[in-house]
Amino acid sequence: MRILHLDAGRQMRGGQWQVLRLLDGLKNEGVECVLLARAGAPLFAAARDRGHVVEALSVPRVVLLARRFDLLHAHDSRTHTVGALIRPSALLVSRRVAFPPRGAWKYAQPRHYLAVSAYVKQMLEAAGVPEAKISVVPDGVPLLEPAKGTALVAPDYTADPEKGSALAVEAAQMAGTEIRFSNDLERDLRGAALFVYITYQEGLGSGALMAMSAGVPVIASRVGGLREIIQHRETGILVDNRPEEIAAAIRELRENPPFARRLGDAARQSVIDKYTVAHMVRRTMDVYRRMAGLPDSSMTA
C-alpha cells in the first residue's frame, strides 16, 4: 500500500504532531509513504530528520504524484481543497477542528473522512457528509513516564483567540498560584502536578491526552471532544468557562492529593486503553484497508 500525505501547516501544532506520529507508525507497518509538506515548516524538517521521504508541497507536485499512490491523505483544509480538485476518488481527509464545515462542493468530494471525535463527526454529518463516509479516529499520544512535579501547566495557546489562556491565568490567580505555559509538553509535563486546558471550542484535545498520558490530573473546558476523552471526576475535571469554577477545581486538586492521584492514575490508564499512538495507527490502517478493499485488523487478528 502506498499513501501520499499532504500537509500545508506552517507551525508544529497538534495536527502536525499526529502526521509525524502516523508516519512513524506506518513505517513500522511497512506502508510506503511520501509526505508533501510546506518547505521550511517544522513538520518538513521533523519528518526528514526521522528518515521519512519528504518533498516540498506544491500543486504541480501533487498532480504529478497523485496517480502513483493508492490513497491521498490530506491532513488540513488547504490540502483537502487540493486533493478534492486533483483526485477526489482516492482522497481521505483528516478533520480535527471543531468549527462547522464551509463549502458544500468541497466537503462532498473526498471518498472518506477521519474525524478526530464523535463531536467532529456530528458536525460533518450536519454539513451533509453521509455517516458511511466518516470514521472516528482519535489522536494518539506517546505513553509518558508518570510526572513528578508541583507546577500548574497549560499549553501555550496564548496567540489563539479560540483558546482560553487569559481565562486560565485569571483562574490561577484566583486560586493563589502561578501557571506555566508550555510549548513542549513532553518536556514540561515531567514537572507538572496539574494541567489546565481551557478553550472555547475543541475537536478533541491532544494536549489534554498528553497530560493524561503522564498521569497528570486535567482540568478542562466542558466543550467539544474534551467531553469524550475526560469522564468528569473519574479521569479529570470538566468545568464551564468561568474563572471561579476553574479556580475552585485547581484548589480542590491542590488540597486533596489522594483524589488528584486517583484522577491521574485513571487518566493514564484511559490513554493506555484507547489513546496511544499504536491505537491511532491501527485505526487509521483499518480505514486504509477498507478503502483498498482489504480486511481490517479486527478481521485478521
Helix/strand/coil (H/E/C) assignment for every residue in the chain: CEEEEEECCCCCCHHHHHHHHHHHHHHHCCCEEEEEECCCCHHHHHHHHCCCCEEECCHHHHHHHHCCCCEEEECCHHHHHHHHHHCHHHEEEEECCCCCCCCHHHHHCCCEEEECCHHHHHHHHHCCCCHHHEEECCCCECCCCCCCCCEEEEECCCCCCCECHHHHHHHHHHCCCCCEEECCHHHHHHHEEEEEECECCCCCCHHHHHHHHCCCCEEEECCCCHHHHCCECCCEEEECCCHHHHHHHHHHHHHCHHHHHHHHHHHHHHHHHHCEHHHHHHHHHHHHHHHCCCCCHHHHC
Nearest to 145 by CA among 50, 216, 91: 216
Instruction: Go through the domains of the chain in sequence order and give each one's CATH number.
Output: 2-139+276-300 (3.40.50.2000), 151-274 (3.40.50.2000)
pLDDT of 192 reads 97
Strand 91-95: give its sheet, edge to edge: 54-56, 32-37, 2-7, 71-74, 91-95, 112-115, 134-136
62 φ, ψ to 5°? -65, -45
pLDDT at 298: 53
Q: Are strands 237-239 and 218-221 parallel, antiparallel or unpaired?
A: parallel
Q: Residue 297's pLDDT is what? A: 60
pLDDT of residue 150: 96
- Please report, in tens digits, the pLDDT of each residue of the chain (301 residues total): 999 999 999 999 889 999 999 999 999 999 999 999 999 999 999 999 999 999 999 999 999 999 999 999 999 999 999 999 999 999 999 999 988 888 889 999 999 999 999 999 999 999 999 999 999 999 999 999 999 999 999 998 777 777 889 999 999 999 999 999 998 999 999 999 999 999 999 999 999 999 999 999 999 999 999 999 999 999 999 999 999 999 999 999 999 999 999 999 999 999 999 999 999 999 999 999 999 887 666 544 4
Give the pLDDT of residue 301.
43
Compute how many other C-beta atoms are within 10 angstroms of the C-beta atom of residue 160. 13
Q: What is the pTM of this model?
A: 0.92
Residue 286: the pLDDT is 96
Residue type at position 110: P
C-alpha cell at 89: 476518488
